[in-house]
Every structure is written in C-alpha cells, then in structure tokens.
C-alpha cells in the first residue's frame, strides 16, 4: 500500500459522469407514481384490525357487525389463509420461514406484539373501512409479555412460541424458549491471544430498536379476477419477492400473480418482505373488486420492521505497540416476534476491518413482544461495529495512541482472513484510513466541549440473480429493461453502463424497470447489489447486443462475422481485402435490422458472483452542551472505498444518507415501550429522525479501489455508510465529555444523567 489512496485511473466517456437521472423530471414534478398513487375503477379501500395487546391469545374474531355495514364488502382473518408448515427457504436478505411471514401478516392463534394484524376489511371509502375495522370484535386472553432482550432470555420469561427450541446449542434444549438460535465464529485461539495481550479493554453496550424510517408508508392495490389471476401494484424493494411471498402465503401459483412495481419512496431494507400485499389480494378475492391498502405512519412504526435493539459485549487485547492479539464479542439481538434477527451478520462484520489472528463471535437471536425486525441497511453490522469501534477508541486512549494509527496498524488487507471465513482479495480499507488522515477535517482545531470521533465499518455487498434485456429501437436508441426498483438513482447507473458498453450517448438509452411479466427474475433491491449485480447483467446484455450488431454488420457487408469489431458505437471491418468499408454506426445497423434478421436485442439472466466487500471510515466532530446534554454534530466526513462510482453524485448521496441515518440512530432514535408493552412514540414527531436543521453538510471522499469482479470495478455502496456512524458519534461524545458512551441513543436526558453520575457537571 502506498501513502495515497489508490486512484482509479482509467477514464470513460460515461461511467463516472453526473448526468441528470432519466426518471428525474417525473419526480420533481410530482408525476412519478408511488405505491399509494394508484387508483382503479370500482376500487375498495382496506383497513387492518390490529392488536392493542403486546401478547394475547385470540379466543374469537367476529366480523359480522362490520360486514353488516352498507358499503363493506369483505373481511378476512387468518382462517382465509393456508396454515403453512414451518419451512425455511432463501429469500429476502436472509433465509425466510414462510410460516412466520404468514403469521406476521395475519395472526392465527396469538398476537405477539401491539399492532399485530388480526383481520382486514374492505369498504367503499377509507372512512367506512376504518369504521368497519372498529366494528370487528376480537376476544383476547391477555398474556404476560416481554420486551427486553435480556429478560426474554431468562428461564421464567413469558414464552412467545411453544415450538421454538434454541438451535445451535448442544445438547438441544427440551423446553421451548425465546432464544431462537446461537451461532458463532472462531478464528485462532482467543485464550492464547488474550494471554499474549499487554492491554485488554472489555465493555458492554446497549442499543435500541430503530426504524428504517422511509417516508413512504407501505401501499398496495390488488385485483383478483374470476380466473384466479391476481395483479398487485405496490411499493417494494422487489416485485419478484412480493410475487413469491404472496403466492406462498395464499397458496397460489407464482404464474397466477403479476406484480407491477411502483416507484419506491425509500426502503432501506424495510420493504424486503410483505405485510399488506397478501391481505389486499385476499380482500380482492373475497369482494371481487380491486382493493387498496395503505398503511398509516402509526402502522408503519408498530407493525413493520425496525431493526434489532442489541446487547453487546466486546473484549479486545493488544500489545503495547497497538497490534491486536485477540478479539471477542457476544451479541444478543432482538428478533422481534419471530426468529431472524441479524445477530449472525453482526458477528460476521464487527471485526472484519481488522487483521486479528484470534477472534470469536457468539451471536444470539432472541424473540420478544416487538414487531418482527426487518432488514435495515447493513443488517446487524452497525450495532456490532458500535461495540468494536468504541472499544478500539478506548484502547487507543489507554495506549496513548492516535485512533487512526491504531486502525492503520491492524487494518485488513488483501490476503487477510476474516473471522467469518474468507480471505479478502482486493480491498480498500487501509486506503480509507489514509484518506482520513490527509483530509483537512482530521486536523481541524477543536474548542471546549468539543470532541472528534472516528470509526470504521464493513459490509460484504452481495451479488445474486439479476436479469437485463436491451432492445435496440429502429432509430438506434436503446431500451434497457431490468427488474430492480430504483431506490436512489439506479436507472441512471444502468443507463450509464449501457451507454458506455454500447458506445452510444447516455441520452439515447432509456432505462426501464419491468414488472414480473416483462423481465426475467431478479433478486430484490437490497444488500447493495443493484449497481453491482444488475449492472453486471446490463453490461453482459450489452455485450450480447453488440455480438448481434456485429453479425448484422457482417451481413450488410456480406463478410464473415469474425472480421467485425465494435468500437465507439460502430461496427468496423477488419478484413483486409482491398475494399474500403466505412464503419457502420449502430443507428444504421438498426435501421436495416429487418433486412438482416429482424429486431436486435440482447437479454441475459445471471447469478452475479464476485461482489467486492466495502469498507468505510467516518470522522465526526460534536459539541456537547453540558447544561442540557444536547449534542450538536459540527462536522462530518464519510470516506468509503466504492470500487468505481458509476454516477458519483448518487454514490455521495448514499454515503450522506447512510451517515445521517446513523447519526439519528446514535443520537435520538429509539422505540420506547410502556409497562404494558405498547409503543409510546409511534409518530415521526416523537420518533426523532434527523431534520435538516439537526445536521451539518456531510463531506464525502470516494476512494476507488476497483473490484475485479465487475466490468467497471463497482462495489456495492449503500450499506457501508450506516455502519461507522454509531461509534463515530459516540467516540466523539466520549472524547468531548471524558465519559465513555456505552448506550444509544445519546439523547439529551440520557447524556445529562451520565454526565451527572460521572460527576462531570
């Protein structure tokens, strides 16, 4: 490694430029159709009846009074859905148990959290639907509940599922509990590593459940025709996921459902599963009319996925020179009402930036009476990183070492074996540290009550199944069809890559997102995979299109195809037979397509391998008001190895948005429950996400260490930026106050109490 970040030197005509996004005009004019913007003739409006209790047995549900109301056309309960067996299949961002998905969409015997759906009704207006929902009577037997993760693990805790036995422990337990699973990873010998250590730091941490906070609530319109065919218009991170999950939950064939994706108003992982879509189809089936279901913000908070609150213990050992000798972490993550917290992912990612010979992670997945957690940007990683990066900061203080140097000394590089198994290939973690060191932010002077924190983070980034089709139009323009909802500018990236490979103008490429009937399967938009995997599919579809274009040029020239080359959007003859052949531009070949074999297109479906891991390093400056405990973020810089930025402005946007979400997680956001297990802050006023006046400008540095697994070197970028901020902010506050922050959020009353307890004010 040199002292300067590696700069990606190859330049392209389109890749790396910042044109206006193709879907932009519709979005600034209010013309883009999001989930709630669809209307159909004769459409009914649905409303969902939800549990007021955190934990209760459903003794009976009576929908008769609701159905008697004129204008109410249907009511559904779990009795209208097949009782699915417990089976795990791959899907979403993690393995999926469809029995749990089904029971989460509509409760069968028990409600497991406040807000759990128990019935749904459809009526001619939203007001009438709400009235009908209020007339559904549910007889509950209220059961004791448990909210806290450590309490839920106690042997005398109320048990949510009487068929849940902890997996991954030996011997297998004989009684059901809330502990769904234990997983773990070991590298080397931690006992030896700690024995060799000269300094050891160990600390426990706690974080609260936080919501993805997308501004667009879940929304769907469904029709069900007499021939058993359903169509769903909805907002999601994957139309193919909605189709598969809905088919599964309703016992339908996948081919009987068509899902038309709307624009998506944010997801961050929270729209990688279904909630209302199967209910809308069931109501449409019963009523014979189109049904629209839109969640209120309260429903979004109470019934859709937050990510886990966590209990974390991290211990690291090091030599006096800062070389880490061992690291150990224990993670206990809330899964919510059904198993499936991202604890394992926390265990895999926490130590990943570091070359530690002896390391281990022990991960516990624990259910409690909270909404089932859903993926949230780098699921599981931010909490683990909060623990690890805080402990490293403390270690640096103990060693009297610069925290950046400590990280540099232990940075994972090509060839480092990660705790979770693989050896890294080309990675750019150390380069992000170097970039931090030379950034002016790192050496700016600090005033009283101010502190500077630094923290790093890792995310795998994923590939997986993606499809793309390119159609060359008669005039030489091109349509690029993919199957991934555009959540933050991906249409622009697809168009840039297609333009680059085909050699035509960006403005001549029209990217589109197909519904489930218009393009072959693509795994959902998540895991930072779209620009990498679907982008790779687009590049390969462009290659296939070029192969066809070359054949057509050969036909026009009446020469053998092997004598044709493609360069700068034109076919060139390489045949040296004395005839002068002017290059054939794409438009000319397209205009003659009917003479050479018909329409020209290229389509591929791939399983993209070679995703490049991403690393980031963030610097945060805060000022603490010792009188109120209020924390102001003064400066923030996010540095990340992005492989290659296809549209740098949208890549910067990912870094800035992730950092802002992480700052909210660190400072203010949390799920607050009362003694009865009811959520106390289910509104965006009381669940305090950062607003414009809470934040400074967020500077970004894009380090480009190309990923050899992608034609342009792309690494996923969306997840990494939410990993470092929790610790970057906490470390800054720790250094500003002299009190180590071990619990989030660092809200004013909590921080003030900590300062008072420590005798600092």
Binding site for ligand FES (CB under 6 A): 215, 266
Nearest distance from residue 724's CB to another protein, in Å?
14
Nearest distance from residue 314's CB to ligand FES, in Å?
33
Q: Which does 25 bind (CB under 5 to 8 A by kind): ligand FES, another protein, none?
A: another protein
Q: Based on CB atoms, which residue is closest to another protein, 250 or 487?
A: 487
d(CA 228, CA 285) in angstroms, rounded, equals 8
Nearest distance from residue 578's CB to ligand FES, in Å?
59
Look-up of token digits 């089904």 = 102
Interaction of residue 685 with another protein, rule CB under 8 A: yes
Look-up of token digits 């005509």 = 13
Nearest distance from residue 38's CB to ligand FES, in Å?
18
d(CA 63, CA 76) in angstroms, rounded, equals 8
Which residues partner with 608 through β-bridges? 464
Nearest distance from residue 368's CB to another protein, in Å?
26
d(CA 224, CA 257) in angstroms, rounded, equals 9
Q: Based on CB atoms, which residue is closest to another protein, 401 or 649?
A: 649
Q: Which does 582 bind (CB under 5 to 8 A by kind): another protein, ligand FES, none?
A: none
Q: Based on CB atoms, which residue is closest to ligand FES, 25 or 215?
A: 215
Coil/strand/helix, residue 583: coil
Q: Based on CB atoms, which residue is closest to another protein, 131 or 405?
A: 131
Spatial strand order in the sheet of 478-482: 509-513, 478-482, 464-472, 600-608
The b/e string for 654-692 (b: 16+ C-beta within 10 A; e otherwise) is bbbbbbbbbbbbbbbbbbebeeebbbeebeeeebbbbee
Total interface residues for another protein by CB under 8 A: 62
Nearest distance from residue 685's CB to ligand FES, in Å?
10
Nearest distance from residue 378's CB to ligand FES, in Å?
18
Q: Based on CB atoms, which residue is closest to another protein, 7 or 28?
A: 28
- Is the separation of the CB atoms in 722 and 738 below 8 Å? no
d(CA 315, CA 318) in angstroms, rounded, equals 10
Nearest distance from residue 419's CB to another protein, in Å?
31
d(CA 342, CA 335) in angstroms, rounded, equals 8
d(CA 695, CA 700) in angstroms, rounded, equals 14
Q: Based on CB atoms, which residue is closest to another protein, 210 or 751?
A: 210
DSSP state of 371: P
Is the Cα torsion angle 546, 551, 557, 559 positive or negative in sign? Answer: positive
Interaction of residue 689 with another protein, rule CB under 8 A: yes
User: In this chain, which of 5, 8, 14, 36 binds another protein, going by CB under 8 A?
Assistant: 36
Q: Based on CB atoms, which residue is closest to ligand FES, 191 or 215?
A: 215
Say what the alpha-carbon torsion angle 427, 433, 434, 439 is, to the nearest 10 degrees. Answer: 130
Cis peptide bond prior to 665, omega within 30° of 0: no
Burial class (CB in 10 A: 0-12, 13-18, 19+), 603: middle
**Stretch binding another protein (CB under 8 A), from 457-465, 472-480, 587-595, 643-651:** 643-651
Q: Based on CB atoms, which residue is closest to another protein, 15 or 201?
A: 15
Interaction of residue 692 with another protein, rule CB under 8 A: yes
Interaction of residue 28 with another protein, rule CB under 8 A: yes
Instruction: Give the largest CA-CA distance in the chain.
Output: 92
Residues that bind another protein (CB under 8 A): 18, 20-21, 23-25, 27-34, 36-37, 39, 125-127, 212-217, 263-268, 294, 296-297, 487-489, 647, 649-650, 652-654, 656-661, 683-685, 689-695, 697-698
């Amino acid at each position: 490694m040199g002292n300067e970040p590696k700069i990606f030197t190859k330049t392209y005509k389109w890749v790396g430029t910042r044109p206006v996004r193709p879907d932009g005009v519709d979005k600034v004019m209010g013309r883009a159709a999001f989930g709630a913007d669809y209307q159909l003739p004769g459409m009914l409006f649905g409303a969902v009846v939800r549990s007021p209790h955190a934990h209760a047995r459903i003794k009976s549900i009576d929908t008769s009074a609701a159905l008697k109301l004129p204008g109410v056309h249907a009511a559904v309960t779990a009795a209208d859905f097949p009782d699915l067996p417990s089976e795990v299949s791959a899907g979403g961002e993690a393995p999926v148990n469809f029995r749990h998905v089904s029971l989460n969409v509509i409760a069968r015997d028990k409600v497991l959290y406040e807000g759990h759906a128990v019935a749904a009704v459809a009526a001619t207006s939203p007001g009438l639907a709400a009235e009908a929902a209020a007339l559904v009577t549910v007889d509950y037997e209220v059961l004791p509940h448990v909210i806290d993760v450590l309490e839920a693990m106690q042997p005398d805790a109320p048990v949510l599922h009487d068929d849940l036995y902890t997996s991954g422990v030996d011997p297998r337990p004989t009684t059901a509990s809330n502990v769904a699973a234990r997983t773990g990873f070991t590298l080397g010998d931690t006992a030896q590593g700690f024995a060799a250590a000269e300094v050891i730091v160990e600390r426990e941490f706690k974080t609260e459940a936080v919501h993805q906070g997308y501004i667009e609530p879940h929304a769907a319109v469904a029709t069900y025709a007499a021939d058993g065919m359903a169509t769903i218009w909805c907002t999601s991170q994957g139309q193919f996921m909605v189709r598969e999950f809905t088919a599964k939950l309703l016992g339908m064939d996948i081919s009987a459902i068509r899902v038309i994706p709307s624009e998506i108003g944010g997801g961050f992982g929270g729209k990688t599963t279904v909630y209302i879509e199967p209910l809308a189809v069931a109501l449409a089936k019963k009523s014979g009319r189109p049904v629209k279901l839109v969640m209120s913000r309260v429903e979004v908070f109470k019934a859709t996925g937050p990510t886990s609150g966590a209990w974390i213990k991290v211990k690291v050992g090091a030599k006096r020179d800062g070389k880490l000798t061992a690291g150990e972490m224990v993670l206990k993550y809330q899964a919510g009402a059904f198993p499936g917290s991202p604890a394992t992912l926390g265990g895999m990612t926490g130590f990943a930036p570091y070359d530690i010979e002896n390391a281990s992670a022990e991960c516990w997945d624990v259910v409690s009476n909270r909404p089932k957690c859903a993926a949230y940007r780098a699921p599981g990683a931010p909490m683990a990183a909060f623990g690890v990066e805080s402990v490293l900061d403390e270690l640096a203080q103990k060693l009297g070492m610069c925290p950046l140097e400590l990280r540099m000394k232990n940075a994972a590089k090509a060839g480092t074996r990660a705790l979770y198994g693989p050896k890294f290939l080309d990675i750019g973690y150390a380069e992000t540290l170097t970039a931090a060191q030379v950034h002016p932010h790192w050496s700016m002077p600090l005033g009283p009550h101010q502190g500077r924190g630094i923290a790093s983070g890792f995310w795998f980034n994923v590939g997986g199944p993606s499809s793309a089709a390119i159609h060359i139009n008669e005039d030489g323009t091109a349509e690029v069809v993919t199957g991934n909802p555009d959540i933050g500018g991906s249409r622009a990236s697809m168009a840039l890559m297609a333009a680059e490979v085909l050699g035509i103008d960006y403005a001549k490429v029209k990217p589109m997102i197909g519904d489930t009937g218009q393009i072959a399967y693509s795994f959902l938009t998540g895991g930072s995979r779209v620009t990498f995997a679907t982008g790779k599919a687009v590049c390969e579809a462009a290659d296939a299109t070029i192969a066809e274009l070359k054949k057509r040029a050969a036909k026009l020239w009446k020469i053998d195809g092997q004598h044709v080359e493609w360069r700068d959007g034109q076919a060139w003859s390489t045949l040296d037979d004395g005839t002068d052949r002017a290059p054939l531009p794409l438009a000319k070949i397209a205009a003659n397509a009917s003479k050479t074999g018909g329409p020209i297109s290229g389509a591929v479906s791939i399983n993209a391998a070679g995703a490049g891991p991403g690393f980031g390093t963030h610097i945060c400056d805060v000022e603490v008001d010792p009188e109120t405990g209020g924390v102001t973020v003064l400066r923030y810089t996010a540095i990340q190895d992005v492989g290659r930025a296809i549209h740098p402005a949208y890549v910067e946007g990912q870094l800035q948005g992730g950092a802002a979400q992480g700052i909210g997680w660190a400072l203010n956001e949390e799920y607050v429950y009362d003694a009865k297990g009811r959520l106390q802050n289910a509104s965006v006023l009381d669940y305090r996400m950062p607003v414009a006046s809470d934040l400074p400008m967020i500077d970004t540095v894009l380090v480009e260490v190309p990923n050899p697994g992608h034609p342009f070197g792309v690494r996923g970028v969306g997840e990494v930026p939410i990993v470092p901020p929790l610790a970057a902010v906490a470390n800054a506050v720790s250094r500003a106050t002299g009190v180590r922050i071990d619990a989030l959020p660092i809200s004013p009353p909590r921080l003030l109490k900590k300062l008072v307890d420590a005798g600092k004010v």
